[in-house]
Structure 1
Amino acid sequence: MSIKKSLYLPLALVLAGCAHNSPADSASAKHWWWPFGETAPKQQVVVQPDPKVTQAWLDEYEPRLREALKDSRLELERRDNLLVVTAPVDASFNPDRPSMLLPVTLGPFSKVAKLLEKDPKTGVLILGHADSSGQAQLNRELSQQRAQAVAAIFRLSGLQRDRLMLKGLGSDMPRAANDSKEGRSLNRRVEILVTPQDTLVALLAGYNQPSKTTAVVAAGQIK
């Protein structure tokens, strides 16, 4: 079955916990998903990553990702200890079927997925974002569906379950004001956060602790 056809199939997901917390014990577990009906990985101890190792990894992967994204509408940004690939919704998803990727995006996404799949130490977090128009719950669901559509490409490319997570954030993390058409367009996006797996586990732990989330965002690690 081709990737394009596979994206049109319903995606089965299972509720799971985040990072080092057990799904049964974590109050925020219900917000995190491992794609495609699989159980959560075993508990992981959060180890503070070595900044030098992380920066060396970023130095190696940034030019490789830029080459994979060349001539596409996807954007690449380096944020502290992350590489972030941003897919603008207006250029990436079908306007008539808002959670379906346009065929033109499959090639660039597949190139990125294949590049990352080869490195078992790499982790990927896919975040769906919406603008503030309409009902908040519907926006959150749509952002989740868009994150799932992108995750499908990474999973079909061979990325293992313990290296791939996703979340729909709705309009919780805008990157522009929602009071203009241009601002709302910027806020409708899917972000692919790429980093060494140890760094990703530490990042997810910060998400699991609401008191630290603001600090994470302020540091520019997630928008």
Structure 2
Amino acid sequence: MVANRSLAFVLCLLIAGCAGSEKSKRADAVAMPAAKVIQADLDEYEPRVREAIKGSHFELVRQENVLVVTAPVLGTFNPDRPHMLLPVTLGPISRIAKLLERDKSIGVLVLGHADSSGAAALNRELSHERARAFTAIFRLSGLRQDRLMVKGVGSDMPRADNNSAAGRALNRRVEIILTSQDTMQALLAKYSQPALPAAAVVAKRTVDADQAK
């Protein structure tokens, strides 16, 4: 199985501190809160997020000091207008947004993903538009800009093999990554730096660890 590179990338930034260029080393100066503090916050927050997405086709994964809500494109967006949300998805997204509105300590990173079909530039643009569809609801709920980051990464971070239809469907998704407000501020500084090679290293380590089991 291909490792979830987007999650590996985020974990690399949050946990490992990702080595990179001199510019990225300056971003490393941003202090990260202690992981145990973040985990304690998310221990309380996780069941509330699970309740918010209950009955939907969204998935929630807890990984170290982040919560990742994944929304597959299929069943979330209008097939005829690929960046427009279907009405059935507004409920769970709005419930997550209400939780975020009440809990000022949580920061949000929304990542849009595409498969490798078609032109890379178009995939990146479409993935960004899909991510923005989510953040539009968050902003309407009152989530401030300093707590919210959005990015379309196109096909750069697949979670499955693009050589199969099933794999491509898994890769077309939007991820809502939730972590503490303090950690998100550090993540915002780090995310602007070129760290994809480090993410690839983390992904390889994950695959190697799985194979060693």
- State the alpha-carbon separation in 2 of the partners of residues 217 and 120 from structure 1: 32
Alignment pair present for 1:151 and 2:135: yes
Distance 1:103 1:218, change over 3 A: farther
Amino acid at match of 1:215: A
Task: Name the counterpart of 1:40.
Answer: none
2:164 equivalent to 1:180: yes
Q: 1:130 to 1:194 in 2, by over 3 A?
A: same
Q: 2:46 aligns with which of 57, 62, 75?
A: 62
Q: Distance in 2 between matches of 1:182 and 1:146?
A: 20
**5+ unaligned residues in a row in structure 2: which ranges?**
1-22, 204-213
TM-score scaled by length of structure 1: 0.75
Counterpart of 1:215 in structure 2 is 198
- Contact 2:110–2:174 (Cα < 8 Å) also in 1: yes
Q: What is the number of residues matched between the two proteins?
A: 177
Change (3 A) 1:205 1:214: farther
Matching of residue 125 in structure 1 with residue 109 in structure 2: yes
Output the CA distance in 2 between the equivalents of 1:146 and 1:182.
Answer: 20
The alignment status of 1:85 with 2:69, answered yes or no, reads yes
Determine if contact 2:149/2:188 at 8 Å carries over to the other structure.
no
In the TM superposition, 1:193-204 aligns within 5 A as 193-204=177-188
Mark the runs of 5 or more structure 1 residues left unpaired by the alignment: 1-26, 29-44
CA contact (8 A) 1:206 1:213 kept: no
2: CA distance between counterparts of 1:217 and 1:74? Answer: 26
Q: Which amino acid aligns with 1:162?
A: D
Assess, with a 3 A threshold, how the Cα gap between structure 1 residues 219 and 65 changes in structure 2: closer, same or farther: farther
SS at match of 1:206: helix
Residue 75 of structure 1: aligned partner: 59
Show CA shifts across 1:81-128 (max 9, x none). 110000100110000000000000000000000001111111001000
Shift of 1:216: 4.5
Q: How does 1:4-153 map to 2 (within 5 A)?
A: 46-153=30-137
Write out per-residue CA displacement over residues 186-207 of structure 1, whole angstroms, 9 at most, x where no aligned residue: 0000000100011122223332
**2:161 aligned partner, one-letter code:** A
Say if 1:64 and 1:159 are closer, same or farther in 2 by CA, change over 3 A: same
Q: Deviations over 1:46-87 (max 9, x none)?
A: 222111110101101111100111101111011221100001
In proportion to residue count, which structure has more helix?
2
**Do 1:94 and 1:101's aligned partners in 2 also have CA atoms closer than 8 Å?**
yes
Shift of 1:214: 3.6
| Runs ≥4 residues deviating over 4 A | 216-220
**Of the two structures, which has the highest relative contact order with CA contacts closer than 8 Å and spacing of 6 or more?**
2
Seq. identity, %:
66
RMSD: 1.8
Q: 2: CA distance between counterparts of 1:83 and 1:216?
A: 18
Q: CA contact under 8 A between 1:207 and 1:213: conserved in structure 2?
A: no
